[in-house]
């Protein structure tokens, strides 16, 4: 459509000037067709009798040009031919190509023959297509049926094997419980179930079951281990569904003989230490050591000193020495030192590093060393070892993990739940988190404070994101606490204010001076009432300031806890003074002839005071200790660490 589409819309269209013959029948068709094709080609209009779609062309320009070319064709037809063409289209709407094809059908014998043949063959092609489609569908259905049958057979076979394996596992379980080694061998020889397969509901393997049932029959368990060795199936690396190895089960059930055999076959003794840290059952661990036939002289000396029980510190030292003297690799301390770091057992960390200096640089699966891991798990005792280190501690000022997190990024993470849950109240929890963040911020290099990790986040942004929910909970806790105490302080203020106006005994009519003004007990009432009033007002103002605070993260560090401490302290003083004033009033009124009434009044006054202190003192104590108490960070020993 270059010729027509590119022309300005206002320019006149070309018109046929050399079509000299009108189409009136078959005898004039060939000459007419030749002239029309020359006309179309000269004006680049052939596409209008060739294309059915206008892909790539402007619709309005196409329709305009198509109407022009159609007019050329219709203008070159005789009246009878024109009437025949127009009547061929009932709706009178047709394109240039429609008109051209219609004329070819009427007057072109070759095109008409092809057209008639196409009309004749079209039903046959449709039938053949339908047959082909049916055959394809039939073949596809046959394939699907065969596949489904194959899958069903495979499923049945898998279910059969699973059922057979389940029956063999039950038989093996029963044979182990009966300690019948011949039945165990027969079942294992069938190769349906092996010693590594889980044969109980809780995922215990055959050796796990044998450890728990053969405490009185060491020969049976020894034969079971021989079967494992024969089949090249190692015993110590097998774990049940709870993640327990055979040595874990040994420690739980106390099967000393099984422990001796296991350790004798594999000297990875540090696994026992890891289990001791988990269970905190150091006595049983030392009991295992005392019965283990080692050849080292220092162990014999340890056995004489330990006797039935030694503390965990001695156990750690013995285990470290065993590792150093044995053929075990030095990396066997990895699990133990990270578990000790997680549980904040600094003694284990110090002894392990003293025996294996490289342990301080060992990394876990996340790429963290023990100091980084201590920050993540909020293990302050292990973290404080930095203050006992030499110049090596400067490495930790800039150290990063695989995700470009420096030490401050790790401190910005939310602490594990087991470290937050013991702290009372969300406000104190976020205060502890802020204390950790500020401590690490003081330790790292100033550049680390604004440094971004691989996710493009600074430590402050990480802290805000990780502690968003905790900050909201802390704000809610603070407001609810302040609201409750505000009501109490307001009630006390009202009571003592009214008591100051309506003094006990009334006033003298002539001068308005209180009747008991010369009584010493009256001064006790007046002073107590005044103290109660002023402290309750102070308390009320403190709680109101909490309710109207903006509750930024930094406010939880000192400002909000201080306001709550001042408010609670004044509320306690106010409550105590109010009760003293009330007791003084009772004594003034009823002690004229009954001085003994002071005893029950004093006793009853102490009751609510004691109750208030008992119920509220833990909160006040936690607030004061967390805000103004001795810092949990810093150098705790002068002994060098590394």
Instruction: Kindly compute the dihedral angle of the four CA atoms of residues 414, 417, 419, 424, in this order, to the nearest 10 degrees.
Output: 100
With beta carbons less than 8 A apart as the criterion, state whether 415 and 407 touch.
no
Lowest mean pLDDT among 127-131, 270-274, 360-364: 270-274
Q: Half-sphere exposure (CA, 13 Å, Cβ side) for 189?
A: 6
Q: What is the pLDDT of residue 88?
A: 78
Of the candidates 568, 541, 559, 542, the one whose C-alpha atom is nearest the C-alpha of residue 627 is 559
- Helix, coil or strand: residue 205: strand
Instruction: Kindly compute the dihedral angle of the four CA atoms of residues 603, 608, 613, 615, in this order, to the nearest 10 degrees.
Output: 140
Residue 512 predicted with pLDDT over 60: no
Q: Count the Cβ atoms, other than its own, within 10 Å of residue 6.
A: 9
With beta carbons less than 8 A apart as the criterion, state whether 486 and 544 touch.
yes
Determine whether domain 363-466 maps to CATH 1.10.10.10.
no
pTM (two decimals): 0.54
Indicate the average pLDDT of the chain.
78
Helix axes 96-107, 26-42, angle to 10 degrees: 150
Domain ranges of the chain: 2-107, 363-466, 469-628
Residue with tokens 């401050």, as numbered in its chain = 408
In tens, the pLDDT along 219-259 reads 787 777 777 766 555 555 677 766 677 766 776 666 667 77
- Helix, coil or strand: residue 198: strand
DSSP for 598-642? HHHHHHHHHHHHHHHHHHHHHHHHHHHHHHHS--S-S---SS---
**11 torsion bin: left (phi>0), alpha (psi -120 to 50), beta (else):** beta
Same fold, 363-466 and 469-628: no
- Tokens linked to 259: 């422990």
Q: Which fold has domain 469-628?
A: Butyryl-CoA Dehydrogenase, subunit A; domain 3 (1.20.140)
Of the candidates 371, 641, 378, the one whose C-alpha atom is nearest the C-alpha of residue 362 is 371
d(CA 387, CA 223): 53
Residue 14 predicted with pLDDT over 60: no
Residue with tokens 């009747």, as numbered in its chain = 515
Instruction: Categorize the per-residue pLDDT at 312 as very low, low, confident or very high, splitting at 50, 70 and 90.
Output: low
Instruction: Categorize the per-residue pLDDT at 430 as very low, low, confident or very high, splitting at 50, 70 and 90.
Output: very high
- Tokens linked to 400: 């990063």
CA angle 361, 363, 366 (to 5 degrees): 150
Give the best-scoring range by mean pLDDT among 27-31, 572-576, 627-631: 572-576
């Amino acid at each position: 459509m270059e010729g027509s589409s590119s022309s300005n819309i206002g320019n006149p269209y070309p018109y046929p000037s050399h079509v000299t013959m009108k189409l009136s029948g078959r005898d004039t068709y060939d000459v007419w067709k030749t002239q029309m094709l020359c006309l179309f080609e000269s004006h680049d209009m052939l596409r209008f009798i060739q294309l059915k779609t206008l892909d790539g062309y402007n619709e309005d320009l196409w329709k305009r040009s198509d109407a022009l070319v159609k007019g050329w064709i219709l203008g070159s037809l005789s009246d009878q031919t024109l009437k025949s063409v127009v009547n061929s289209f009932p709706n009178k709407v047709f394109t240039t190509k429609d008109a051209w094809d219609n004329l070819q059908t009427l007057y072109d014998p070759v095109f008409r023959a092809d057209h008639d043949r196409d009309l004749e063959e079209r039903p046959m092609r449709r039938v053949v297509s339908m047959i082909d489609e049916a055959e394809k569908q039939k073949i596809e259905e046959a394939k699907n049926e065969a596949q489904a049958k194959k899958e069903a057979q495979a499923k049945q076979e898998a279910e059969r094997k699973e059922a057979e394996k389940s029956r063999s596992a039950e038989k093996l379980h029963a044979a182990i419980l009966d300690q019948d080694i011949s039945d165990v061998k027969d079942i294992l020889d069938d190769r349906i179930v092996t010693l590594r397969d889980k044969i109980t509901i809780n995922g215990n393997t055959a050796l796990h079951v044998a450890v728990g049932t053969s405490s009185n029959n060491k020969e049976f368990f020894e034969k079971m281990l021989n079967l494992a060795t024969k089949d090249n199936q190692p015993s110590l690396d097998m774990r049940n569904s709870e993640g327990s190895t055979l040595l874990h089960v040994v420690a739980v059930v106390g099967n000393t003989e099984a422990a001796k055999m296991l350790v004798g076959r594999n000297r990875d003794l540090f696994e026992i230490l890891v289990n001791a840290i988990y269970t905190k059952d150091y006595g049983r661990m030392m009991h295992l050591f005392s019965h283990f036939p080692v050849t080292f002289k220092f162990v014999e000396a340890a056995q004489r000193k330990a006797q039935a029980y030694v503390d965990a510190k001695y156990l750690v030292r013995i285990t470290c020495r065993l590792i150093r003297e044995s053929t075990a690799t030095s990396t066997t301390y990895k699990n133990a030192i990270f578990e000790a770091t997680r549980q904040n057992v600094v003694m284990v960390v110090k002894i392990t590093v003293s025996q294996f200096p490289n342990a301080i640089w060992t990394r876990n699966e996340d790429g963290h060393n023990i100091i980084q891991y201590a920050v993540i798990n909020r293990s302050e005792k292990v973290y404080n070892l930095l203050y006992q280190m030499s110049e090596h501690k400067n490495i930790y000022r800039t150290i990063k993990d695989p995700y470009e997190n420096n030490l401050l990024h790790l401190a910005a993470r939310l602490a594990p739940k087991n470290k937050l849950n013991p702290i009372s109240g969300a406000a104190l929890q976020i205060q502890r988190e802020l204390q950790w963040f500020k401590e690490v911020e003081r330790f790292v290099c100033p550049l680390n404070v604004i440094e971004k990790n691989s996710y493009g986040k600074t430590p402050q942004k990480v802290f805000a994101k990780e502690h968003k929910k905790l900050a909201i909970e802390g704000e809610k806790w603070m407001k609810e606490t302040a609201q409750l105490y505000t009501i109490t302080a307001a009630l006390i203020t009202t009571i003592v204010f009214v008591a100051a106006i309506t003094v006990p005994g009334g006033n003298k009519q002539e001068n308005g001076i209180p009747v008991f003004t010369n009584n010493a007990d009256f001064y006790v009432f007046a002073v107590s009432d005044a103290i109660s009033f002023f402290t309750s007002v102070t308390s009320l103002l403190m709680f109101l300031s909490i309710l109207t605070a903006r509750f930024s993260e930094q406010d939880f560090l000192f400002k909000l806890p201080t306001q709550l401490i001042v408010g609670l302290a004044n509320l306690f003083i106010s409550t105590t003074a109010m009760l003293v004033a009330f007791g003084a009033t009772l004594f003034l009124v009823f002690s004229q002839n009954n001085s003994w009434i002071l005893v029950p009044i004093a006793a009853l006054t102490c009751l609510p005071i004691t109750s208030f202190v008992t119920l509220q003192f833990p909160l006040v104590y936690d607030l004061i200790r967390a805000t103004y108490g001795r810092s949990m960070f810093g150098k705790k020993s002068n002994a060098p660490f590394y």
